[in-house]
A and B are shown apart, each in its own frame.
Chain A
Amino acid sequence: MVQDRTLSSRLFDIVNSTLLIIIALVTILPFLHVIAGSFTTVTELAQKQFVLFPTVWSLDAYKYIFSTNTIFKALGVSIGVTFFGTLFSMVVTALMAYGLSRKDLDGRNLIMFAVVFTMLFSGGMIPTFLVVKSMGLIDSYGALIIPSAINAFNLIIMRNFFQNLPEGLEESAKIDGAGDWKILFRIVIPLSMPAIATISLFYAVTYWNTYMQAILYMNDADKWPIQVILRQIVILASGLAADTSGMEDFVRPPEQTVKMAVIVVATLPILCVYPFLQKHFAKGALLGSIKG
């Protein structure tokens, strides 16, 4: 590679890096506050309000949330749903996106319009509930996956990536006698790893954040994913629950430190997904995959 060592280029690097460091700091500070808050005492958090480095350290919050297996169970459910859900969604989405990226497909514009239409119009919670119920999905993990198998946005983005692949590759494969399935799995998918990584990440995060479906479709609390526990604790601890049922006398809300600890526990696993996918976003990743 030709090295670019001009003065203006170096200046550019310095300004760019400095700005990025500032941006990174600004974005991460509140999360540091959450982490620090989870490792300190209730009193310190109440007095200081914004803590970045605790003066009093305490593991009480973590001891509290890990003293039963609820959190572990919920994490297990979330990890399972995220893993299998992402896998399932990727298969269905990639197939459909590839099909719709083919310019020789009749009716593809109509189908795309129908897809976009679902992004704008939705029948709402109750009719969907009825469909899920009639399929017998209530209280099965499938209820958290199948009704959200394809996200129209992800489908459109994926199709856009497929469409932007160099057309010649497909053409020459066809001349070589490759069938559609072969073209998809041997050429299109390997060439689209950045897109596959991106959309996988989007799906993974969506499944990780599953909340309302779990409330509606999972009557059995043992099958709740982590977000249900997280939201319950955040809402109670933030004092957002209404005072209208006269329960507040009996039940103390969870402490602020517990809230912070649950946020940390519920966020770290999904944060770890990104670094694994990052290599696909490197400059020239696509070229690498063609050569390899």
Chain B
Amino acid sequence: MKKTKAGSILAVVTAFTLLAGCGGNEAGGTTGGSNGGSGSEKPAQAAETNKPTKISIMANLHTAEVPSDMIEKMIEEKTNTELDIQWVPDGTYDEKVNASFATGTLPQVTYLKNAASLINMRDAIRNEQFWEVGHLLKDYPNLNRLKPEVLKNTAVDGKIYAVYREVPLSRQGMIYRKDWADKLGIKSPTTVDEFYDMLKQFKEKDPDGNGKDDTMGLTDRSDLVYGAFKTVSSWFGTPNNWGEQDGKLMPEFMFPEYMDTMKFFQKLHKEGLINQDFPVTSKTDQQNLFTTGKAGVYIGSMADVSSLEPKVLEVNADAVLDVQNKVVNGSAEYGVWSVPGYGSVTLFPKSAIKNEEELKGVLSFMDQLMSTEIGNLMYWGVEGQHHQMEEGKVVPSTDTKLTDREVKPYQAMQVGGPLTIEGFLEPKHLSPVKAKAEEMIVENNDYLIEDPTAPLESVTFNQKGVQLQEMIKDATYNFMLGKLDDAGFQAAVDNWLSSGGQQIIDEYNQAKQAQ
């Protein structure tokens, strides 16, 4: 009895000492911790030229795991730096950036996820929280190659604060089952009518020959932009987000072509030519319908063919895929919507970079990331391990597990891209359809429909643009499912206008005039 009593008291005392001990240690650790995080010791070291410069980075993790540090070590060695890379899972990237920003713990090199994240930062940028870099870029041979027209899209009040990672301007097109089309004697569609006919035959003529009515035409997902809808709307000639009507900027959904697109989808849905659940289908389920031979057409990024093809062949070894981009409505001209040319952008917080001297050091590192050697290293990995060279072109290793773990994550840290990095290696596509898809993506560059508001700003849009867009999205889906008629859709547009949409229109038009 006595022993246990003593034991229990001892346990409590230990617990408290532990508690107290923890507290003490942590208090002691505070100063060291916060210094290390902000990297404020850096300028002192810059004086000693041989010592590697410390660079802290926050980047978006798109793969299952954090990469091995092999390529990081190589970059460090080549750039004489010591990198501290904070990988943040994609799903919570914006939250982490916001929290770090609010607590003053952003690193020196902060990647922003996408255009929307940049828009959210505009106010902070305007309030001088980040370094302006526009006037410095010309001093760096590689950064100087970044395209002015793309940089302009990232600008705030005409000043440039960011460098960007390049993305292809328009990868949009269709991927379809050529074996099905050949069997039914359908040629690659070039008009919307032919496209409709293809979907109809894919549904009704039993293209897989199993005697069952178990196929459909198009597979789509719950995404009005990167799914099929926006690309088909381009075929109909709808502008990209905003278009000009009598010299005035108007949102796309006020154009008759948008209505035509919705009616087209309504017809597809009614006739069962598209998956019935497309407004709630995930990308995974959408692709499943295609790879398992339930649907014959996939519209979206033509580059997806490289991941779709092996899966389709796994299910049906005789399947053949093909791609097509140029589809038009009637005798209209072909056009395809494009993105502003950048994926993620990089900002340089003043909280982490103390002076312009330090900024120049960081920019010189960014410049080296765009060099031929490191640019290719970050994208393709190491020759012999992650890829082979054939006829001066890259053949990526088939061991995707290896490249997923050692190379792919670093692509998120890329600065520039194929168009801006000197001597950027081209891939050799072993699959003919993938090669064709790449050709068509390049070809799309001649037919781009740009978003005229990309370089413009509207305060109201910043405030409630997303929320307002939601109204239009709801109305669009409900129209396509036949739950809303023309008048109902018009009512939604009117609601949009009166809830702030009219202000957005006015602000964009003013911004355009001011340019």
Residues of A within 8 A of B (CB): 42-43, 46-47, 49, 64, 67-68, 70, 88, 91, 125-126, 129-130, 133-140, 142, 146, 181-182, 185-186, 212, 215-216, 219, 221, 228-229, 231-233, 235-254, 256, 258
B60 lies within 8 A of A245 (CB): yes
- Give B278-306 as 1s and 0s: 1 = Cβ < 8 Å from A's Cβ atoms: 00001111111001100000000101100
Is the Cβ of B283 less than 8 Å from the Cβ of A136? no
The answer to whether B412 and A247 touch across the interface, beta carbons within 8 angstroms, is yes
Give the CA-CA distance A133 to B35 in the complex, in Å.
12
Decide: A232 near B90, CB < 8 A? Known: A42-B311, A246-B167, A251-B404.
Answer: yes
Q: How far is the CA of A70 from the CA of B91 in the complex (A)?
A: 19
Give every chain A residue within 8 A of B32 (Cβ-Cβ): 136
Select B99's contact among A216, A241, A250, beta carbons within 8 Å: A216
Contact A244 to B116, CB < 8 A, known contacts A43-B314, A67-B401? yes
Nearest B residue to A234 via CB reads B91
In whole angstroms, how far apart are the Cα atoms of A64 and B225 in the complex? 33
Given A129-B99, A244-B114, A246-B343, do A46 and B288 touch, yes or no (CB 8 Å)?
yes
Inter-chain contacts of A219 with B (CB < 8 A)? 37, 86
Query: In the complex, are the beta carbons of A136 and B26 less than 8 A apart?
Result: yes
In the complex, which residue of chain A has the Cβ closest to the Cβ of B87? A221
Cβ–Cβ contact A238 & B27, under 8 A = no
Given A138-B33, A212-B92, A249-B171; 17 other pairs, CB 8 A cutoff = A43-B292, A46-B291, A70-B66, A135-B23, A136-B26, A146-B22, A182-B5, A186-B8, A215-B88, A215-B89, A216-B95, A221-B66, A238-B284, A242-B113, A244-B113, A245-B167, A251-B411
Name which residue of chain A comes closest to B5, CB basis. A182
CA distance A256 to B31 in the complex (A): 45
Which of chain B's residues have a CB closer than 8 A to the CB of A130? 103
Residue of B26, B64, B287 touching A135 (CB-CB under 8 A): B26
CB distance from B46 to the nearest CB of A (A): 23
A248 to B62, CA, bound (A): 8
Decide if B467 is an interface residue (CB 8 Å cutoff).
no
A245 touches B343 (CB 8 A): yes
> Closest CB-CB distance, A88 to chain B, in whole Å?
8
B-chain residues with CB within 8 Å of residue A212 when the two chains form the complex: 92, 95
B301: chain A residues within 8 A (beta carbon): 248-249
Q: 8 closest Cβ contacts across the A-B interface?
A: A239-B283, A246-B167, A246-B343, A136-B30, A136-B29, A244-B114, A243-B226, A221-B66
A241 to B61, CA, bound (A): 11
Identify the interface centre among A138, A142, A181, A219: most chain B CB within 10 Å of its CB: A219
| Pairwise interchain contact B339-A246, C-beta atoms closer than 8 A | yes
Known: A243-B223, A247-B412. A125 touches B99 (CB 8 A): yes
Residue of A nearest to B65 (CB): A70
Residues of A within 8 A of B226 (CB): 243
CB of A134, distance to nearest CB on chain B (Å):
7
Give the complex CA separation of A205 and B167 in angstroms. Answer: 42
**Residues A245 and B283 in contact in the complex (CB < 8 Å), given A136-B27, A215-B88, A221-B66:** no
User: Can you list, as one digit per residue, whether each of B27-60 has a CB less than 8 Å from chain A (1) or not (0)?
Assistant: 1111111100100000000000000000000001
> What are 22 A-B residue pairs whose CB atoms fall within 8 Å in the complex?
A67-B401, A70-B66, A136-B29, A146-B22, A186-B4, A186-B5, A215-B88, A216-B96, A216-B99, A229-B64, A232-B61, A232-B64, A232-B91, A233-B64, A235-B89, A243-B283, A245-B60, A245-B114, A245-B344, A246-B114, A253-B284, A254-B64
